[in-house]
Amino acid sequence: MTEDGKAKKTVRARIVFSDELPSGCQPFEWPEDRNMMEIELPEETLIVVKPGSMERPLYDEWNRYLDRVTGQGNWRREDARR
User: In this structure, what DSSP letter does residue 19 have?
Assistant: G
Read off the pLDDT of each residue in 73-81 and give the average, rounded to a whole number.
63
Q: DSSP of 30-69, one letter per residue?
A: PPTT-SEEEEE-SS-EEEEE-TT--SHHHHHHHHHHHHHH
pTM over 0.85: no
Spell out the domain ranges in the chain.
Answer: 13-20+32-71
pLDDT at 40: 84
The sheet carrying 45-49 orders its strands as: 13-17, 45-49, 36-40
Decide which of 53 and 21 is more confident: 21
CA 53 – CA 37 distance, rounded (Å) = 12
